[in-house]
A and B are shown apart, each in its own frame.
Chain A
Amino acid sequence: MTNSPACNHLTGERILHGMSDDQELVTAVLARTPGAFEQLIARHKALVWHVVFRMVKHPEDARELSQDVFLRVHQRLHQYRFESSLATWIGRVAFSVASRHLQKKKLPLAEPIGDDDGDAFDDIGDGFDLEAACADRETMQHLNAAIESLPPVQRTLVTLYHLDELGIAEIGTITGLPEGTVKNYLFRARQRLRQLLETRLGAFA
Chain B
Amino acid sequence: MNNNFDHQGRDNDMRLQAEAERAEREGLAPGRDPRVDRYRLIVRALRRPLEPQLSADFDTRVAKLAMQRDGDGFEDVLVSLLLLALGVGALLYVGPSLAHMAQAMVSISLPPLPWHQVVMAAICIGVAWAIDQGWKRTHHDSRPF
Shortest CB-to-CB span from B106 to chain A, Å, is: 52
Fill in one digit per residue for B3-15: 1 if any A CB lies within 8 Å of its CB, else 0.
0001101101110
Give min CB distance, A68 to chain B, whole Å. Answer: 10
Give the contacting residue for B145; candidates A35, A72, A139, A191; CB below 8 A: A72
Q: Is A9 an interface residue (CB 8 A)?
A: no
A71 touches B45 (CB 8 A): no
Interface size class of A (residues with CB under 8 A): 35 or more
Among B14, B41, B49: residue with most chain A CB under 10 A? B41
Partner of B41, one of A1, A4, A161, A197: A197
Q: Judging by beta carbons under 8 Å apart, are B31 and A41 in contact?
A: no
Main secondary structure of the interface of A (DSSP, over half): helix
Establish whether residues A71 and B145, one from each chain, have CB atoms under 8 Å apart when the complex forms. Answer: no
Closest to B46 in A: A162
**Residues in B whose Cβ lies below 8 Å from that of A76:** 145
Q: Please, what's the 1-or-0 string for A55-89, where 1 marks a CB less than 8 Å from any CB in chain B?
A: 00001000100110011101110010000000000
Asked if residues B18 and A194 are in contact (CB atoms below 8 Å), the reply is no
Q: Which residues of B contact A32 (CB under 8 A)?
A: 70
Contact at A143–B41, with CB atoms within 8 Å?
yes
A and B contact pairs by CB, cutoff 8 A, 23 listed: A4-B22, A50-B50, A54-B50, A66-B54, A67-B62, A72-B145, A117-B13, A118-B13, A120-B13, A125-B34, A127-B34, A128-B34, A130-B31, A144-B48, A163-B46, A187-B14, A190-B39, A190-B43, A191-B13, A191-B17, A193-B42, A194-B13, A194-B39
| Chain B contacts to A: CB under 8 angstroms | 6-7, 9-10, 12-14, 16-18, 21-22, 30-31, 34-35, 37-50, 52-55, 58-60, 62-63, 65-67, 69-70, 141, 144-145
Interface residues of A (CB under 8 A from B): 1-2, 4, 32, 35, 37-38, 41-42, 45, 49-50, 53-54, 59, 63, 66-67, 70-72, 74-76, 79, 92-93, 96-97, 117-121, 124-131, 133-134, 139-140, 143-144, 147, 158-159, 161-163, 187, 190-191, 193-194, 197-198, 201
